[in-house]
Structure 1
Amino acid sequence: MAETNWYAVRTVPGSQRMARVLEPANDETEEQKADRVRRKGESIVERNLRNEGIDVYMPSFWAITQHQRTNKMREKRFPLLIGYAFVNIHQRDFERVRGVEGVMCFMRPSPDRGPIVFRDTDIGGLMLADFEKQQVWEREREERLIKAQSYRRNALNKRLGLIFPKGKRKKMPLRILAEAAIDSLSPASRQHVLLILNELKAMDQEMEACRRSANHLYSAA
């Protein structure tokens, strides 16, 4: 089988922004789920290349940004090399790569020479540095989430405490007490408690998803 090499491609402006999040399929297999997790934050050009079966690598970093209209904080992935990505292909695949939406051209030393070949060690060094930075980001992300959730949980527990005074708690955690006693509450109180319990459940799911993402990253090392 012919040898593959790494080549740099110029990307179309705007194609390095994050693609829409992949939604899980109803009949998603474990392998498809793992692939979807790995592709978290991928750019438009990366998705287009991968959908064509082309191996691509785009050095990147994560940062927290603030939405201009809603002021909501969100995580975003940005390219480290603006306008460039790397593909690992056979020479016969040059035209196939050029035909992918988001790819402009191959990087050449001069117009009369072929695309520049990058050594595996060069790309491997970039990937290792990228991976180490991603590990740090995932750890910091979990720490930020724990801190934010701690503040929010305290606020929600205080709201539950207004519904279940100390004398009625029976030395039981408020969340468990609320789940056990919800059917005996008035309709208005029941609705209020349900909203709080659903928010606590959503926070648990968010934390679990964060930890699964980190565990998947570390297991890939």
Structure 2
Amino acid sequence: MTMVATNSNRQTTAWYAVRAVPGYQRMATILEPANDETEEEKLARDRRKGESILERNLRNGGIDVYMPSFWAITQHQRTNKMLERRFPLLVGYAFVNISQRDFERVRNIDGVMCFLRPSADRGPIVFPDTDVGSLMFADFQKRQQWERERTERLVLSQNHRRNSLNKRLGLIFPKGRRKKIPLRMMAEAAIDDLSPASRQQVLKILNELKAMDSEMEACRASSTALYSVA
């Protein structure tokens, strides 16, 4: 049984596979937030995190697209920095949910090579909604697992970094000046009374801690967007 969806013009739609032009399944440039971005627009942008160039082009063209994928950690060749990257599960292919009248429109999208056909003299293959739905569900479960592992890795990493930064703060403030309050709060309260050199060190540490807070907040927001209705 194929997916039977109906648009405003009573046109039924179905899932078809398209062949991607080489290079168009790599991750697209991150979208920058608009100055007047609404909360709904922010959630939509978060859900599109890691989208490929092909997916972005199809969505911008008003085409419903689904590309099975997985996330992995890679190492930058020059900087050795660890990066999170999304890769296609079916290299070279993605699915589109369209009506037959949209075939030509899809073919004209930058990054689409052709539709998958059983033979040159037959039309594009229709994929059952149950098959595509199963892929989507497995994809969603994998993404949930990835987000959990990602959060756990970030928490462990941040705990290590926070301990290191707190030790550096402890070296700046002599034991006799310490109170029964967190070092970070004490540093923020006493920063104006420090020498210029110590003040610069403390500001650097506090900025690192604030950046870590923002990183954790972004991680949690990303996980929240995952569970939001698309």
Both structures adopt the same fold (TM-score exceeding 0.5): yes
Q: Deviations over 1:87-119 (max 9, x none)?
A: 001111111100111100000000000000011
Q: Deviations over 1:128-159 (max 9, x none)?
A: 00000000000000000001101100110011
Among 93, 100, 109, the residue aligned to 2:102:
93
Q: Verify: 1:82 aligned to 2:91, yes or no.
A: yes
Provide TM-score, normalisation by structure 1: 0.98
Following superposition, which runs of at least 4 residues in structure 1 exceed 3 angstroms of deviation?
none
1:85 corresponds to which letter in structure 2?
A
Among 44, 48, 69, the residue aligned to 2:53:
44
Among 22, 25, 29, the residue aligned to 1:20:
29
User: Displacement of 1:37 after TM fit?
Assistant: 0.5
Q: Verify: 1:204 aligned to 2:210, yes or no.
A: no
Q: Which runs of 5+ in 2 are unaligned?
A: 1-9
Among 185, 203, 222, the residue aligned to 1:213:
222
Provide TM-score, normalisation by structure 2: 0.94
For residues 45 and 225 of structure 2, what CA distance do their matches in structure 1 show?
Answer: 12
User: Displacement of 1:220 after TM fit?
Assistant: 3.8
For residues 218 and 136 of structure 1, what CA distance do their matches in structure 2 show?
Answer: 12
SS of aligned partner of 2:12: coil
Give the aligned partner of residue 134 of structure 1. Answer: 143
Give the aligned partner of residue 199 of structure 2. Answer: 190
Give identity over the alignment, percent. 77
For residues 31 and 145 of structure 1, what CA distance do their matches in structure 2 show?
Answer: 26
For residues 16 and 189 of structure 2, what CA distance do their matches in structure 1 show?
Answer: 61
Give the aligned partner of residue 154 of structure 1. Answer: 163
User: Displacement of 1:36 after TM fit?
Assistant: 0.3
Give the aligned partner of residue 173 of structure 1. Answer: 182
Q: Which runs of 5+ in 1 are unaligned?
A: none
For residues 76 and 47 of structure 2, what CA distance do their matches in structure 1 show?
Answer: 25
Give the aligned partner of residue 5 of structure 2. Answer: none
1:116 corresponds to which letter in structure 2?
I
Give the aligned partner of residue 7 of structure 2. Answer: none
Root mean square deviation, CA, Å: 1.0
Give aligned pairs, total. 221
For residues 215 and 29 of structure 1, what CA distance do their matches in structure 2 show?
Answer: 16
For residues 30 and 212 of structure 1, what CA distance do their matches in structure 2 show?
Answer: 12
SS of aligned partner of 2:180: coil
For residues 65 and 189 of structure 2, what CA distance do their matches in structure 1 show?
Answer: 52
Among 64, 71, 77, the residue aligned to 2:80:
71
2:156 corresponds to which letter in structure 1?
K
Q: Deviations over 1:171-208 (max 9, x none)?
A: 11100000000111111111111111011011011111
SS of aligned partner of 2:149: helix
